[in-house]
Amino acid sequence: MARHFLNLADVGCAGLRALLDAAHARKAARAGWPQGRVDGDAPLADHVLAAVFEKPSTRTRLSFDIAMRQLGGATITLAAGDMQLGRGETVGDTARALSGYVDAIAIRANRHADVQALAAEAGVPVINALTDWSHPCQIVADVMTVEESLRSSVAGLRWAWLGDGNNVAHSLIEAADLLGFELALAVPEGHDPDPALLAGSRGVHVTRDAAAAVRRADVVVTDTWVSMGQAGGAAKMAAMAPYQVTAALMAKALPHAVFLHCLPAHRGEEVTGDVIDGPQSRVWAEAANRVHAQKAILLWALGRL
């Protein structure tokens, strides 16, 4: 049976810890190497990944491709609009066909239900590279970046999320449960995360007060106020305005606190330029760590962890 990575909960506590440890170890083992050099053990030699994108992508597309090359494998990148999927072929038929050609499928999809349907019919592992409901790959890189920056496990730390209760926030809630860190989500009314997910979580709470969420935080995280494919509008922008991450807000966090953003960022909207370009920002390390996170996810999905 294929080992799918649709949400962090699929991995479990021990699995996520093993995955993070593998990401750290593989990054350390190739320090100073050219990006195109294959890891010494080439664990995915002769393996092929199909990377399917219904939405635009910079970091996810590049990081999966570089990850496969470093693991010794190859990637075929497909735009959904250029496939038969874009002309009405069912998700199930696409899943069965791709399973005959490649060893794993990573997909960035408009609807989480489509990724679930793909996994249900695929004979190879399916990796969720972002849906409207979750973004587990991003949070693996985020946790890895915090552990590097603060030189500690994230267990017991306090994270603050500012802005929309969106797909990235959903995966962060799952990570908080699995890894044992506190999470305060400062979101405007009407933009809360999934209530069922919140109801089953521990150490996670929602507040309308941005300053209260950030107070004594080790990590401050935000995302664009209008995600890809969402309708924006003045009303949503106005609702989000009190949750902008500014230098004054960061000053309420702990002195060692780091700032994360999954990118692309809109300076002057969800974050000010002096924060994202300032000394507490770790967004570029976070983006680079996507490669090491994807490598660990691929190894887990293909039964190598």
Same domain, 127 and 154: no
Answer yes or no: is 3 within a domain.
no
Under a CB-based contact definition with an 8 Å cutoff, are residues 127 and 107 in contact?
yes
166 annotated among ligand-binding-site residues: no
User: Annotated catalytic, 262?
Assistant: yes
Is 263 annotated to bind a ligand? Reply is yes
pLDDT of residue 232: 62
Distances (CA, A) of 171 to 12, 13, 98, 136: 13, 14, 27, 5
Residue 256 bears catalytic tag: no
Task: Give the range of the structural domain holding residue 241, as residue numbers without chain letter.
Answer: 136-286
**Residue 138 annotated as lining a ligand binding site:** yes
- Same-domain check for residues 113 and 38: yes
Residue 4 has a pLDDT of: 98
Segment-wise mean pLDDT, segments of 10 residues, the chain, 305 residues: 96 96 98 97 98 93 98 95 80 94 97 96 98 97 97 94 97 98 97 95 96 98 83 86 98 98 97 98 98 98 96
Nearest by Cα to 141 from 262, 300, 3 = 262
> What does the radius of gyration of the chain's CA atoms come to, in whole angstroms?
19
Which of these is catalytic: 70, 116, 138, 294?
A: 138
Tokens of 197: 């997910």
Q: Which distant-in-sequence residues (6+ apart) come within 8 Å of 245 by Cβ?
A: 162, 220, 222, 259, 270, 271, 272, 275
- The active-site residue out of 4, 47, 69, 108 is 108
Q: How far apart are CA 158 and CA 288, in angstroms?
A: 23
Evaluate whether residue 47 is within a structural domain.
yes
User: Do residue 116 and residue 190 come from a single domain?
Assistant: no
Question: Token pair for residue 292?
Answer: 């090491």
Does 185 belong to an annotated binding site?
no
Q: Confirm if 168 and 130 have CB atoms less than 8 A apart.
A: no
Sequence-distant (≥ 6) Cβ neighbours of residue 145 within 8 angstroms: 258, 260, 282, 285, 286, 289
- Catalytic residue, candidates 47, 262, 282, 292: 262
Residue tagged active-site, from 142, 223, 261, 292: 223
Structure confidence at residue 156 (pLDDT): 96
Which residues does residue 267 pair with via DSSP β-bridges, in sequence order?
Answer: 271
My answer on whether 247 and 186 are in the same domain is: yes
For the domain that residue 245 is a member of, what is the CATH number? 3.40.50.1370
Catalytic, 223? Answer: yes
User: Token pair of 158, please?
Assistant: 């306090």
157 is in an annotated binding site: no
